[in-house]
Structure 1
């Protein structure tokens, strides 16, 4: 009888298979056809144990092929065995090809390096890296490591939607891959912002890569596939369950270099993503919002509790994500006006005039402390630039405004 190890949900997973027919570990459940590691991982993913640390460890220790057959041998005595009985690995491979997807496994050139951190992170008691990922689209997932995840409320306000759209476009134009979850609200706005900037974006799905969820975002998903990619750790044709969204959040947090939470209520899936990001050592940023809005509750609290850095512009996000080559931060006072750009002596001369008065060179010298020659030269320069009007011999006044 196989040894059992408890998984995170109180069910049993098989231990290391006992000795016996070594060749059996390479054959599919249907007999005859040998399974490779990639197809066996597809089959294990179809069990939908997303975020299962124990299963990830068993695959790493014993290999996917051996573990798949151990699960199959459990039969009716366990939940995993009963589910495995209905899974045909070769059919999963055929469905993957039919929907135009590819299946990645650790060790592939395209496998995102950041997912390795999930092997040691357990932000919510769950964790573990995905056994494999289905991908549809033209984007190379190896480029995701420098990306930034924008997450937030489904019921976002106009403020949140505006920030998500505009910031996503600016970040995408700065060559940062925008990552989100294709949900309503902030997620969809972030994807649209990147697409409007004619840049790729990555959607992490809780369903199969051929099952738009929500259905209303079908057109958006198709646009993402054309320009970027959609990714999932469950097989094509799979519809999401509640646990899928929480497991999906760990991928959103792990794939990029940082997470920006735009809006979120006190209870929000986006807060779960932030917990993962902090546990993974990613840069966590929050957009502050009005205290009168319930959608600002989570970002404002994260800032207050120093669990996230306050960001008020895409430039600040880029500066935090690129500490080795920080972006210039925007000055808090805004851009200098034409008057601010005048030389100090010219500003002093201009400010020596009062409305509707004419001032001669001697009086200017007295008011400013500048020499007569400097006053003459400066006043003539100001008059030429339109800051003063000459009214006679060595006298000037402020220009008269029309009307």
Structure 2
């Protein structure tokens, strides 16, 4: 069995977040890992490592389980699954569908996935026209709530379209709400978009996104570490979030409740030393409460425009967002002297030049000179009792 077939087999044997399997593959390679599982006997050095690491009995829900009991249970589970694997059939099914398999070292493999270490995927199925590695060289993950508000959907689509127009790929999870809006925005902007699925690339979930996924295949790429035909489960949505965070330069949370999958993605981004940003929303909206907490805790940078997100993940000094400025009013163009005199002119009752001079703190000659210029520009007008601001003036 070669490396490629071994990796296809491993995709069936363990869930992608199985760190013990990840350690086994990292230590011995996929072919040797499959051989040990088939023999029903793991290398003694690996067994000793497992015992040392788990000597304190940490086993999650099985906290009191002895290390060797847990390892024997894992090996038995892997062996049982191995009996029903047929990597050649899996490869043929993928090719028949139109998908392709990439493995670490392949030209299309994004090397940033190596940051996941033992949680690095054993292989990835891709279905789409875009090159995954090139699509993720400059990319941003745009994620958020499935139950998006109209505000959130609008912002996500705007981010997707503008990031695309600036040459950034958009990575998301293909779900309802923010994910779907981000993908559609990127497609409208004509940029590749990457949808990381929690099921096989040949499974359309949610089913209502059939047309969206078809468009993504034409302009971007569907990505999954699940074998062909595998249906999604609740844990797999959380597991795949680490890929969304790892593939991109940074993640922006558009809308998220305090407890949500998007917050899980944010945790992966922080753990991987990726940039993390969040978009603020109404303080009365539960779907923005998670964003606000991330910003308040200092875990995420507050961004309000795609340009600000690009500044966060882009090249220092080259991708600065424009400074937001208020509107320029006509009186902003006046000299400091003219503004002082103008501020001293009453709005309703008239005032003489001497009174205006005292109020403005300038001499009478300066006031007379300034009043003439201000009158010509339409700011003030002469009345019976002196000068006043002109109604409806600039």
Give TM-score, length-normalised by structure 1. 0.77
Match 1:63 to one of 17, 22, 29: 29
State the secondary structure of the residue aligned to 2:227.
Answer: coil
State the secondary structure of the residue aligned to 1:260.
Answer: strand
Q: Name the CA distance, whole Å, in 2 between partners of 1:374 and 1:103.
A: 81
State the secondary structure of the residue aligned to 1:230.
Answer: strand
Match 2:114 to one of 113, 116, 121: 116
Aligned to 2:221: 229
Q: Name the CA distance, whole Å, in 2 between partners of 1:177 and 1:96.
A: 25
Structure 1 residue 281 displacement after superposition: 1.0
Q: Name the CA distance, whole Å, in 2 between partners of 1:176 and 1:116.
A: 21
Q: Does 1:128 align with 2:94?
A: no
**Deviation digits for residues 334-376 of structure 1 (CA, Å, limit 9, x no counterpart):** 3333322333233334334333566787776665466777667
Structure 1 residue 263 displacement after superposition: 2.1
State the secondary structure of the residue aligned to 2:164.
Answer: helix
Q: Is there any run of 5+ residues in structure 1 with no aligned partner, and where?
A: 1-25, 27-35, 120-126
Deviates more, 1:161-170 or 1:148-157: 161-170
Q: Is the 8 A contact 1:139 1:229 kept in 2?
A: yes
Root-mean-square deviation (Å)? 3.0
Q: Name the CA distance, whole Å, in 2 between partners of 1:139 and 1:379.
A: 67
Q: Is the 8 A contact 1:150 1:178 kept in 2?
A: yes
Aligned to 1:137: 128
Pick closer, same or farther for the CA change 1:38–1:162 going to 2, 3 Å.
same
Q: Name the CA distance, whole Å, in 2 between partners of 1:207 and 1:255.
A: 18
Q: Name the CA distance, whole Å, in 2 between partners of 1:227 and 1:44.
A: 30
Pick closer, same or farther for the CA change 1:341–1:109 going to 2, 3 Å.
farther
Q: Name the CA distance, whole Å, in 2 between partners of 1:197 and 1:380.
A: 53
Q: Is the 8 A contact 1:152 1:187 kept in 2?
A: yes
Of Structure 1 and Structure 2, which has the larger fraction of its residues in helix?
2
Q: Name the CA distance, whole Å, in 1 between partners of 2:7 and 2:333.
A: 65
Q: Does 1:353 align with 2:345?
A: yes
Q: Name the CA distance, whole Å, in 2 between partners of 1:336 and 1:315.
A: 22
Q: Does 1:37 align with 2:3?
A: yes
Q: Is there any run of 5+ residues in structure 2 with no aligned partner, and where?
A: 42-74
Aligned to 1:123: none
Q: Name the CA distance, whole Å, in 1 between partners of 2:281 and 2:348.
A: 46
Q: Name the CA distance, whole Å, in 2 between partners of 1:389 and 1:199.
A: 57
Aligned to 1:20: none
Q: Does 1:324 align with 2:324?
A: no
State the secondary structure of the residue aligned to 1:340.
Answer: helix
Give TM-score, length-normalised by structure 2. 0.79
Pick closer, same or farther for the CA change 1:354–1:40 going to 2, 3 Å.
same
State the secondary structure of the residue aligned to 2:127.
Answer: strand
Aligned to 2:273: 281
Q: Name the CA distance, whole Å, in 2 between partners of 1:389 and 1:218.
A: 68
Q: Name the CA distance, whole Å, in 2 between partners of 1:273 and 1:287.
A: 15
